[in-house]
Amino acid sequence: MAENTCEEEVFEEVFKTQAEGLRNFLYYRCGSLQQAEDLVQDAFGKLWQNCAKVPLTSAKSFLFKVAKNLFFNQVEHQKVVLRYEKEQRDNPSENSPQFILEEKEFKELLNEAIANLPENQRIVFLMNRLDKKTYREIAETLEISVKAVEKRMHKALASLRLVYKKV
């Protein structure tokens, strides 16, 4: 007998395995962590309401479909902003204030460029770089082909290269 998402234990397991990926995906779309977390609650709410109709194997696909269709309860689409950790610098020349300043400016330009990517490309790029998902995993989650993922990734990188022209 297929496991039923109406059972609390099963549902909890789905939450524990899917919630973070879902939140990240939603954040890449809307740029607000709070909103992404709220939408995760909404998506799981819909899963719970429909638990009798959604078998365990379809739960992830259901969640992402619902997430894609959720209305963004916000005045403005916020820009996705990446937070950078401090990097260990072994190379002494990279410790100069000049270099650090240039890199800071470059990071800002890069951030801007990532935020301005078309949503499709941005999502694929960030799922690969931040969520550490492979092209295959991304293809399965978004229900597109691996080739499609590669094309979006390529376009994203091609756009980000343009940042070098601004420096």
Partner 1 sequence: MEKDKEDNNLEDTQYARWLSGDLSEAELSDLQKDGTLQELEGIIRLTDQASLPAYDIQKGLQRFKKQGLKKAPSPKRRLRKVWIALSAAAAIILLLLVFLPGLVGSNPDTTLTAENGSTLYHEFGEGSNALINDGSSISYNPDSWQESRNVTLKGEAYFDVNPGAPFQISTDYGAVRVLGTQFNVRSWERLSVECYSGKVQVQVDATNFILTEGMALRYDATGKPSVQEIASQEPSWKTGVSRFQRVKVQEVFSELERQFNIQINAQGINKDFTGSFPHSDLEEALDGICRPLGLSFSIDQANNVVSITDNN
Q: Please check whether residue 19 is in contact with residue 40, taking contact to mean a CB–CB distance below 8 angstroms.
A: yes
Residue 139 sits in the site that holds partner 1 (CB under 8 A): no
Please pick, from the candidates 115, 137, 144, 151, the single residue that binds partner 1 as defined by CB under 8 A.
151
Q: Which residues pair with 55 in a beta bridge?
A: 4
Q: Other C-beta atoms within 10 Å of 121: how many? A: 20
Q: Please check whether residue 106 is in contact with residue 163, taking contact to mean a CB–CB distance below 8 angstroms.
A: yes
| Structural tokens at position 87 | 């990097």
d(CA 66, CA 46): 8
- The amino acid present at 145, given as its one-letter code, is S
# residues near partner 1 by CB under 8 A: 70
SS3 of residue 55 by DSSP: strand
Residue 23 sits in the site that holds partner 1 (CB under 8 A): yes
Rounded to the nearest 10 degrees, the angle between the axes of helix 8-30 and helix 33-49 is 140
Residue 27 sits in the site that holds partner 1 (CB under 8 A): yes
Residue 115 sits in the site that holds partner 1 (CB under 8 A): no
Residue 60 sits in the site that holds partner 1 (CB under 8 A): no
Q: Which residue number, 96 or 129, has a Cβ lying nearer to partner 1? A: 129
Residue 129 sits in the site that holds partner 1 (CB under 8 A): yes
Nearest to 81 by CA among 113, 49, 45: 113
Please pick, from the candidates 34, 96, 116, 134, the single residue that binds partner 1 as defined by CB under 8 A.
134
Using CB under 8 A, list all residues that contact partner 1.
1-2, 4, 6, 8, 12, 15-16, 19-20, 23-24, 27, 33, 37, 40-41, 44-46, 48-55, 58, 62, 65-66, 69, 71-77, 82-85, 87, 103, 106-107, 110, 114, 119, 128-130, 134-135, 147, 149-155, 157-158, 160-161, 163-164
